[in-house]
């Protein structure tokens, strides 16, 4: 009877094996619930330690600041925590020398007192940072840490600056902020609000934004580290400072050349092209640096991401960078991501053909296929050709399309409707924008089936329904099981 009672008793959470607790806490709990669960009792705390290490120490990010590097040094000396680390990122953040610390004069006097305290603390932190840089302590700490981390596989350099919203900093790996920023913000009494400087104002120092590259390249060339098979993830914002013609680092430097041969992932991002118009030819020579960089990393590159937010009136920066990218062959390239970029059809097809034997993951977001030249013949099926090329990629396993579009000029003699008024409108000609909304495909067979459906259904329907779209409000939706396409018209050229 006691045996039967024991067999039918309800199982208790603490009776579960440690591996089950580890799995549940790692895969099925968000951060708040995970930490609350670990605080429930000592047994749970001990049995979920591996999940804790994998979740929060596998990928870590630091900045070249005393408090941040002190944390890296302490973690690297801890035998348990250091064993979890696989990737260390060195962000571009640095405490600015002259941030905007003064509050609005219209605010209460309490804010003025906070401003004075903030300036005093800022001078102390800045002095500590400058002493560290002058004495070379950042180089020394990184060297010790990279040597002592037993399972370190890759090093990241650069990246985004501190994100303004907490959700991006916590949930988006691209925007994870460097270790130590919250500590410095608390010391400076920067908690957000109307009378406080923003995170970007405190840590976005454009004068020293490439210092992290210089330091890490030196570390990778030192004995004991050069022999380790560490790969590099480079995220370069503003690969060309087109206002000054300044490059992030000199490609002729031997340490830089040796480090670039390790490059596994490369992100090129150029924000802020919305400033005053500048003739492309004026800075054409500076883009040779991008071409040389791509040549240095071509043999080892596994993943590339091009991100060029474009204004509606000027497309030449993204055209130049994408043109430099597609002329080379990348034998190990498996992941291609294009975001907010204009491309021409020929260059895009050439890229897919070059990487037909290696491409496994392709992500296009806000990619626009433009006309090759103002006099090129009108077409409305350019993405159809891209879809056909994507179908032929035998290694492709993941395909994500989000708001990809194309533009074509409706012929002036195209008959829109039977009414004289609409015929007059049609004779003027229109730019026609066709947009494919988000689709996320996994598995080669699913990609082939959905793209075949898109080619057969959406584009054939688009060609049939295009006159009706222009006759009505200027746009229409095309629905299918997998794709949603918008056809719209705009006056003038996009």
- Same domain as 66, residue 42: no
The overall average pLDDT reported for the chain is 77
Residue 215 lies in a domain: yes
- Same domain as 44, residue 63: no
Q: Is 471 a residue whose pLDDT tops 70? A: no
For residues 340-361, give the mean pLDDT. 89
pLDDT at 415: 40
Q: Is 414 a residue whose pLDDT tops 50? A: no
Which are the contacts of 123, defined by CB distance < 8 A and separation ≥ 6?
none
Distance, CA of 417 to CA of 466 (rounded, Å) = 11
Which are the contacts of 247, defined by CB distance < 8 A and separation ≥ 6?
239, 240, 241, 286, 289
Q: Is 128 a residue whose pLDDT tops 80? A: yes
pLDDT at 177: 82
What pairing do the DSSP bridges indicate for beta strands 361-370 and 398-402? parallel
Q: What percent of the chain has pLDDT over 90?
A: 35
pLDDT at 455: 73
pLDDT at 127: 92
Residue 25 lies in a domain: yes
Higher-confidence residue of 67 and 174: namely 67
Residue 71 lies in a domain: yes
Question: Picking from 252-266, 331-345, 471-485, which range would have the lowest pLDDT averaged per residue?
Answer: 471-485
- Same domain as 28, residue 62: no
Higher-confidence residue of 353 and 281: namely 353
Is 184 exposed, middle or buried (CB count within 10 Å of its CB: 0-12, 13-18, 19+)?
A: buried
Of the three residues 237, 253, 276, the one that is the final residue of a domain is: 237
pLDDT at 476: 47
Q: Is 42 a residue whose pLDDT tops 60? A: yes
pLDDT at 389: 92
For residues 193-213, give the mean pLDDT. 78
273-308: b or e for each residue (b if 16 or more CB lie within 10 Å)?
A: beeeeeeeeebeebbebbeebbebbbebbbbbbbbb
- Same domain as 145, residue 70: yes
Distance, CA of 53 to CA of 82 (rounded, Å) = 9
Higher-confidence residue of 12 and 80: namely 80
- Same domain as 79, residue 47: no
Q: How many CB atoms lie within 10 A of CB 202?
A: 24
Q: What is the pLDDT of residues 220-247, one digit of tens each?
A: 999 999 999 999 999 998 765 544 556 7
Q: What is the pLDDT of residues 66-118, one digit of tens each?
A: 999 999 999 999 999 999 999 999 998 888 887 665 444 444 555 667 677 77
Beta-bridge mates of residue 338: 306, 364
For residues 261-274, give the mean pLDDT. 79
Q: Which of 485, 484, 486, 480 is nearest to 453 (CA)?
A: 480
For residues 139-151, give the mean pLDDT. 95
- Same domain as 103, residue 30: no
Q: Do the Cβ atoms of 290 and 245 come closer than 8 Å?
A: no
Residue 298 lies in a domain: no
Residue 33 lies in a domain: yes
**Both tokens of residue 489?**
């018209």
Residue 22 lies in a domain: yes
- Same domain as 216, residue 76: yes
Q: Is 424 a residue whose pLDDT tops 50? A: no
**CA quadruple 111, 114, 119, 122: dihedral positive or negative?**
negative
Of the three residues 202, 237, 272, the one that is the final residue of a domain is: 237
Residue 313 lies in a domain: no
pLDDT at 73: 96
pLDDT at 16: 82
Distance, CA of 422 to CA of 472 (rounded, Å) = 10
**Both tokens of residue 251?**
């490609």
Beta-bridge mates of residue 434: 406, 487
Of the three residues 199, 221, 237, the one that is the final residue of a domain is: 237
- Same domain as 76, residue 165: yes
Q: What is the pLDDT of residues 306-321, one digit of tens each?
A: 887 654 434 445 556 7
Domain limits at 30?
Answer: 12-52
Higher-confidence residue of 422 and 257: namely 257
- Same domain as 67, residue 46: no
Question: Picking from 145-154, 161-170, 294-303, 445-454, which range would have the lowest pLDDT averaged per residue?
Answer: 161-170
Distance, CA of 403 to CA of 383 (rounded, Å) = 12
- Same domain as 48, residue 62: no
- How many domains would you assign to the chain? 2
- Same domain as 89, residue 25: no
Q: Is 472 a residue whose pLDDT tops 60? A: no
Residue 179 lies in a domain: yes
Q: Which of 154, 185, 188 is nearest to 169 (CA)?
A: 185
Distance, CA of 472 to CA of 177 (rounded, Å) = 48
């Amino acid at each position: 009877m006691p045996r039967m009672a024991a067999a039918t008793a309800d199982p208790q959470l603490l009776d579960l094996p440690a591996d089950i607790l580890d799995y549940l806490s790692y895969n099925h709990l968000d951060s708040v619930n995970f930490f609350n669960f670990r605080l429930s009792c000592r047994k749970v705390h001990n049995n979920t330690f591996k999940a804790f290490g994998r979740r929060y120490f596998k990928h870590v990010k630091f900045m070249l600041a005393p408090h941040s590097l002190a944390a890296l040094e302490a973690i690297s000396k801890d035998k348990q925590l250091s064993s979890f680390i696989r990737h260390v990122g060195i962000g571009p953040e640095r405490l600015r020398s002259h941030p905007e610390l003064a509050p609005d004069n219209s605010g209460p006097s309490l804010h003025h007192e906070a401003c004075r305290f903030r300036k005093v603390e800022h001078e102390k932190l800045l002095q500590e940072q400058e002493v560290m840089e002058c004495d070379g302590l950042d180089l020394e700490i990184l060297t010790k840490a990279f040597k002592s981390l037993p399972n370190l596989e890759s090093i990241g350099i650069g990246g985004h600056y501190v994100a303004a919203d907490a959700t991006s900093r916590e949930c988006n790996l691209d925007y994870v902020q460097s270790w130590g920023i919250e500590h410095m913000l608390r010391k400076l009494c920067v908690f957000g609000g109307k009378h406080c400087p923003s995170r970007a104002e405190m840590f976005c120092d454009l004068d020293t934004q490439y210092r992290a590259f210089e330091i890490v390249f030196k570390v990778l060339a030192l004995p004991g580290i050069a022999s380790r098979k560490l790969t590099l993830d480079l995220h370069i914002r503003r690969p060309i400072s087109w206002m000054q013609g300044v490059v992030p680092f000199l490609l002729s430097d031997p340490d830089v050349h040796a480090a670039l041969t390790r490059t596994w992932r490369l992100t090129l991002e150029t924000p802020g092209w919305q400033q005053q118009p500048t003739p492309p030819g004026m800075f054409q020579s500076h883009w040779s640096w991008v071409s040389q960089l791509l040549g240095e990393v071509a043999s080892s590159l596994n993943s590339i991401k091009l991100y060029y937010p474009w204004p509606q009136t000027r497309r030449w920066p993204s055209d130049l960078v994408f043109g430099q990218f597609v002329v080379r062959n990348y034998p190990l390239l498996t992941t291609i991501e294009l975001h907010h970029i204009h491309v021409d059809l020929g260059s895009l097809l050439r890229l897919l053909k070059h990487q037909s034997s290696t491409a496994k993951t392709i992500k296009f977001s806000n990619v626009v296929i433009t006309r090759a030249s103002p006099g090129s013949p009108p077409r409305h099926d350019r993405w159809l050709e891209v879809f056909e090329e994507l179908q032929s990629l035998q290694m492709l396993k993941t395909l994500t399309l989000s708001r990809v579009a194309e533009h074509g000029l409706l012929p002036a003699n195209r008959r829109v409707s039977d009414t004289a008024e609409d015929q007059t409108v049609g004779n003027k000609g229109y730019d026609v924008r066709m947009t494919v909304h988000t689709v996320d495909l996994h598995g080669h067979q699913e990609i082939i089936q959905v793209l075949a459906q898109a080619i057969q259904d959406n584009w054939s329907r688009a060609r049939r329904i295009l006159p009706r779209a222009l006759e009505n409000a200027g746009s229409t939706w095309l629905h299918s099981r997998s794709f949603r396409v918008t056809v719209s018209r705009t006056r003038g050229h996009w």
